[in-house]
């Protein structure tokens, strides 16, 4: 749980890039006479709730029998895939390789179905509308989200899948709240090559650590050995 929280925290630059324009537009559309923080909090509560729902759904798929806990080879493959996704995302954040953008297109069909509903909630004039918009926004295609969803899938548990995505969502919360409150200042900071490089290296290290754990388990126990990777995540 701690590791996926840290992944969300370290992925702040990616969150800024993916959601920055959305948060900026929402910030400028808020009623000028109202305090901003309840709206931004509602956006993010809705967004994190949608992550938890997605985690429960993929965890249920694993629990249904396709990915049982004792299927160690499948777990090894899924955690290896998740780690590779993190490495690719880190390379993208660091500005070294943008292949992860192609991975994010996987969810574009679903997003095209959801996006029209977001326009019906604009402008945001109430907290319930902000909460609903955030819940839809949480389905925006995102490589960082996909990498953690793979971990949730391999958990083979709806409850654990939801908790993993909840922890990840809470990790992204500080950066997106800061973005909402300090949009102008954050925009310049995020565009700094040094900041992007640092964030990218951090995410790459998480991915490399996951691959190391998979390789260590395979070398010690083989394909059917106990999978220790969930402990690291």
Q: Express each pLDDT in 18-52 by its tens digit.
A: 776 677 777 777 777 778 889 999 999 999 999 99
- pLDDT value for 138: 92
Q: ∠187-188-194 over CA atoms, to 5°?
A: 115
Task: State the Cα–Cα distance between residues 60 and 29, nearest whole angstrom.
Answer: 38
- pLDDT value for 231: 38
Q: Express each pLDDT in 80-139 by its tens digit.
A: 888 888 898 888 878 888 787 787 788 888 899 999 998 888 888 889 999 999 999 999
- pLDDT value for 206: 86
- pLDDT value for 195: 80
DSSP 120: T
Q: Express each pLDDT in 1-26 by its tens digit.
A: 787 888 888 777 777 767 766 777 77
- pLDDT value for 97: 82
Q: Is the pLDDT of residue 230 over 50?
A: no
Helices assigned H by DSSP within 120-228: 127-137, 143-154, 158-181, 183-190, 193-221
C-alpha dihedral sign at 209, 12, 18, 40: positive
For the chain, give the percent of residues with pLDDT over 90. Answer: 24
- pLDDT value for 165: 96
- pLDDT value for 232: 43
**Between 166 and 230, the higher pLDDT residue:** 166
DSSP 72-115: HHHHHHHHHHHHHHHHHHHHHHTTS--THHHHHGGGHHHHHHHH
Q: Is the pLDDT of residue 76 over 80?
A: no
Q: Indicate the SS3 state at residue 204.
A: helix
- pLDDT value for 184: 63
């Amino acid at each position: 749980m701690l590791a996926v929280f840290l992944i969300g925290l370290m992925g702040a630059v990616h969150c800024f890039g993916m959601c920055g324009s959305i948060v900026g537009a929402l910030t400028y559309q808020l009623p000028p006479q109202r305090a901003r923080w309840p709206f931004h909090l509602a956006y993010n509560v809705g967004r994190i709730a949608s992550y938890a729902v997605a985690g429960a759904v993929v965890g249920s798929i694993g629990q249904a029998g396709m990915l049982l806990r004792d299927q160690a080879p499948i777990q090894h493959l899924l955690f290896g895939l998740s780690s590779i996704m993190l490495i690719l995302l880190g390379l993208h954040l660091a500005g070294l390789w943008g292949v992860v953008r192609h991975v994010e297109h996987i969810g574009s069909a679903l997003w095209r179905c959801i996006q029209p509903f977001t326009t019906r909630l604009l402008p945001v004039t109430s907290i319930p509308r902000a909460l609903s918009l955030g819940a839809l926004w949480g389905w925006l295609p995102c490589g960082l989200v996909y990498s953690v969803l793979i971990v949730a899938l391999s958990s083979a548990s709806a409850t654990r899948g939801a908790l993993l995505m909840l922890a990840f969502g809470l990790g992204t919360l500080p950066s997106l709240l800061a973005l909402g409150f300090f949009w102008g200042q954050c925009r310049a900071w995020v565009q700094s090559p040094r900041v992007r490089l640092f964030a990218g290296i951090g995410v790459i290290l998480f991915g490399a650590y996951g691959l190391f754990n998979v390789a260590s388990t395979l070398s010690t126990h083989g394909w059917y050995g106990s999978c220790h990777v969930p402990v690291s995540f």
